[in-house]
Structure 1
């Protein structure tokens, strides 16, 4: 299956990308590929609004729309997060659980006019895995964010899964950072800008502009940062096509994933397209 998923991010460093707008545009420009949110962040939206928006998309583009739901505010900036929630603070566990349940209820009881979007729950913790299992939802596991949690999350989800109208048995997408290039050196070069951003996050700097590969190549990483970045990259898929294919196959086998979702955070659009072309060929 081929799916394009858009993310609900709000950042001065990278911009804002409302998934429902991007999905509508992509759906109108294509005819077969699946499209979805990866994900839309429930605390930032009224549940009925999400149900109406994605229900409408599914009615206009039957059997092509996925509704990936997550919890993160989509920004590290506290003021932006409060604006998104109209002054409210971070959602509690109970509020988030209620929001997800309300979205599903509105889809069925208020919105349904034909094919519904397929709901997924984004998970990076055992709490998210437990909620996805209890609601009987497919799970998208954020290996590209918290790879050390992946196997614990999967174990919790599969052990506690309850079949539902949405899903009869556990279904898993594992999200992986994947950067392909003709050589190992070029792949490392392309990965450099995201390394700078990750190093900033390690120091609590959340809004670092995405640098060029040339600027990233001269960034003064500390020894501790280099060690942390190397450990993270070893759990993702970065390198030549052959190396990345082996890594993705290993990850799919180790996790038992039904699908892999790939994110390629490189600076140059042509390089990103080239990376996906290499993926398609292999």
Structure 2
């Protein structure tokens, strides 16, 4: 039985036939809906130069949503340290934490947030990919600036995002809670969790290991409807399998007509089997197994489906099923 907090990752998909402005408006309604449902936190991901995902800075979405909600925790999942000056990140999230005490997180990641090498270099003022040592120095600098120079009052809660053993080792060495990207690299999840716990060193930020697991979760009343809802994201993933990163986020009708190859169908089915897609009972059972297998302290659900109402309904079905199981 899932008996740990449920949270959400907002990827801010820009749906075919809509504008980025519509997606921005939906983020507010989405956060307010999840707050009413009792979800613990929402994180905003950093992406750039994608037709399917809005290039909305996590710090801006966090600030806007904090002003339009009352108690749900908010933050980045993640803000990508190599793209930003550490002092700027500390100032931004430190200010938000002072304005909204005990509600702000800063989840830090490493990737560029884009598959376009030119955009990645532009974000980093011409610099190439960051090294392990540079990334660690960036994260340590953010933490130091938060405590030494910003410190306006309550601090944001820092997390490190990880999808590899190297990320797990860094989170463990710095004594930070870790958010594992099971929705991106599920084959690495158990090794990441095990490495993190084995190497964890307590710190003022986190006295014991804390693991949050991010799972792609699409829930509907029937398996067929869940499959229909997840199909648009399958189209985007199929493009990525071919090295194509400019696939728009299609409607369910367009996705149903998409000509997947046999190899793509096999790869997508394998990925979906490691996530949580289906009826409320199926989803709750899969989340329960994942939590047991990893010892997760919290589950973060990402639900990339077309239409805000369908997305909120998915979260409502999961919460209702889990809530019923807890009684």
TM-score, normalized by length of structure 2?
A: 0.85
Q: How many residues align?
A: 282
SS at match of 1:39: strand
Equivalent position of 2:252 in the other structure = 213
Q: Does 1:5 align with 2:43?
A: yes
> Residues 33-44 of structure 1: matches in 2 within 5 Å?
33-44=72-83
Q: Please tell me the root mean square deviation across aligned C-alpha atoms, in Å.
A: 0.9
Residues 1:29 and 2:93 are matched in the alignment:
no
Bigger shift: residues 233-242 or 89-98: 89-98
Determine whether 1:195 maps to 2:201.
no
Say whether the 8 Å CA contact 1:175–1:260 is kept in structure 2.
Answer: yes
Residues of 2 paired with 1:272 and 1:37: CA distance?
20
Q: Which residue of 2 aligns with 1:111?
A: 150
Question: How far apart in 1 are the matches of 2:129 and 2:238?
Answer: 25
Aligned to 1:250: 289
1:15 deviates by: 2.4
Once residues 153 and 305 of structure 2 are traced to their aligned partners in structure 1, the CA distance between those partners, rounded to angstroms, is 39
Report the 3-state secondary structure (helix = DSSP H, G, I; strand = E; otherwise coil) of the residue aligned with 2:105. Answer: strand
| Counterpart position of 1:87 | 126
| SS of alignment partner, residue 216 of structure 2 | strand
Deviation at 1:222, TM superposition (A): 1.2
The equivalent of 1:98 in structure 2 is 137
**Offset at residue 280 of structure 1 (A):** 2.2
Instruction: Tell me whether 1:143 sits opposite 2:179 in the alignment.
Output: no
Structure 1 window deviating more from structure 2 (130-139 vs 207-216): it is 207-216
**Pairing partner for 2:272 from 233, 253, 257:** 233
For 1:161, the equivalent position in structure 2 comes to 200
Deviation at 1:12, TM superposition (A): 3.2
Gaps of 5+ in 1: none
Name the stretch that deviates more: 129-138 or 5-14.
5-14
Report whether the alignment pairs 1:125 with 2:174: no
The structure, 1 or 2, with the larger RCO (C-alpha pairs under 8 Å, 6+ apart) is 2
Contact 1:76 1:207 in 2 (8 A): no
Give 3-state SS (helix, strand or coil) of 1:74's partner: coil
Partner of 1:272: 311
Q: CA-to-partner distance for each residue in 1:24-83, whole Å, 9 max, x for gaps?
A: 011111111111111100011000000000000000111111100000101111121111
Deviations 1:236-276 (A, max 9, x none): 00001111011111111111100000000111111111111
* Preserved CA contact (<8 Å) 2:50 2:114: no
Q: Which residue of 1 aligns with 2:300?
A: 261
Q: Partners of 2:141 and 2:205 in 1: how far apart?
A: 15
